[in-house]
Amino acid sequence: MKQIEGRPISVIDRFDLFTIVFDILISIIGGLIVHRLIPMLKEKFIKAQLWGYDLNKRNSREVKV
């Protein structure tokens, strides 16, 4: 086992494990929020007739999907 300053270092340090678990939880929570928001926003965009357009281009053709 490797040692730094006299103490053993494991392959996955506790801080690294906490970081990995925290990142996984944040990803899951973010995915659930997005999964819930997309259907709600879809209805609002359709109602406002903002679907099928590339809103970031001035001269984009209308493409309805």
End-to-end CA distance of the chain: 58
What was the pLDDT predicted at 35?
Answer: 96
pTM comes to 0.53
Q: What is the DSSP string of 30-48?
A: HHHHHHHHHHHHHHHHHHT
Residues 30-61: tens digit of each pLDDT: 999 999 999 999 889 888 887 776 667 766 56
What was the pLDDT predicted at 51?
Answer: 77
